């Protein structure tokens, strides 16, 4: 029947493209403010961004700016409620390096309509150790907002607490590691109970070979997108046909 022919043709096209599509999602940079178009090696990355030097979506300049208290990257001031402690700041630098440099966030990249970026990450599963150590090292610091992505007073050119807010202890704003990890960047991260040895969660920092590629591959192969099946098929087919046209195949 006609339907059988159509479904067979669709299956063949998707099978032909699956390898290329999967490879792209396992090694790609999001369309955002400071990301490179494609990941690749960097001869030098600064301090806490250094583990990504073999394959990075960030440049050397971005890695250096990630360590500044108020860098040109986003004009974001960590010290909006007094000086942030060094042990707390270390985690935000790691978080920045992870966001800017990681080439393995493909399964969680989503389109967005924000003026400063066209894509963002959503619900990246973080290892439990990373969330807990981040929260533990910041629990004596202060902040005035739950979601740091929005609602700041930018009238001075850098973020200040809005008028109707007050600086409170970290544990009042974020009573648990889960609340911090999931709320601070508008659900960019998802809290998990997985450990770093599980292969089921992303590590914000690492030594040696990047362990996050295998994690991304697991979620890509086992499903990480709540879209209906038909939406995934249409999206994959569109990307595939576009790729074939552009490459002339």
Q: What is the mean pLDDT of residues 78-95?
A: 91
Burial code of 194-233, b = ≥16 C-beta within 10 A, e = fewer?
bebeeebbbbbbeeeebbbeebbbbbbeeebeeeeeeeee
Residue 125 scores a pLDDT above 90 = yes
Residue 197 scores a pLDDT above 80 = yes
> How does residue 56 score in pLDDT terms, banded at 50, 70 and 90?
confident
Which of these, 81, 93, 186, lies nearest to 140 by C-alpha position?
81
**Dihedral pair phi/psi, residue 20, rounded to 5°:** -65, -45
Residues 6+ apart with CB under 8 A from 139: 169, 170, 171
Residue 229 scores a pLDDT above 50 = no
Q: What is the mean pLDDT of residues 37-57?
A: 82
Using alpha carbons only, give the angle 39, 23, 130 rounded to the nearest 5 degrees: 65
């Amino acid at each position: 029947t006609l339907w059988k022919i159509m479904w067979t043709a669709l299956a063949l096209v998707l099978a032909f493209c699956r390898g290329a599509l999967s490879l792209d999602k396992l090694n790609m940079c999001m369309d955002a403010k400071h990301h490179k178009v494609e990941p690749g090696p960097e001869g030098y990355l600064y301090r806490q961004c250094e583990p990504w030097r073999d394959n990075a979506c960030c440049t050397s300049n971005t890695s250096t700016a990630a360590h500044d208290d108020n860098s040109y990257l986003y004009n974001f001031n960590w010290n909006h409620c007094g000086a942030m402690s060094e042990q707390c700041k270390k985690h935000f630098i790691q978080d920045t390096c992870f966001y800017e440099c990681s080439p393995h966030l493909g399964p969680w990249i989503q389109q967005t309509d924000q003026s400063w970026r066209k894509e963002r990450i959503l619900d990246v599963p973080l290892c439990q150790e990373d969330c807990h150590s981040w929260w533990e090292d910041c629990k004596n610091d202060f902040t005035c907002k739950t979601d740091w992505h929005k609602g700041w007073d930018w009238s001075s050119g850098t973020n200040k607490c809005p008028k109707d807010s007050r600086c409170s202890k970290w544990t009042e704003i974020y009573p648990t590691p889960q609340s911090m990890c999931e709320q601070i960047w508008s659900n960019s991260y998802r809290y998990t109970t997985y450990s770093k040895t599980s292969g089921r969660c992303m590590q914000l920092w690492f030594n040696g070979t990047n362990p996050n590629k295998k994690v991304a591959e697991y979620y890509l192969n086992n499903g990480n997108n709540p879209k209906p099946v038909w939406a995934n098929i249409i999206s994959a087919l569109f990307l595939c046909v576009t790729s074939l046209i552009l490459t002339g195949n």
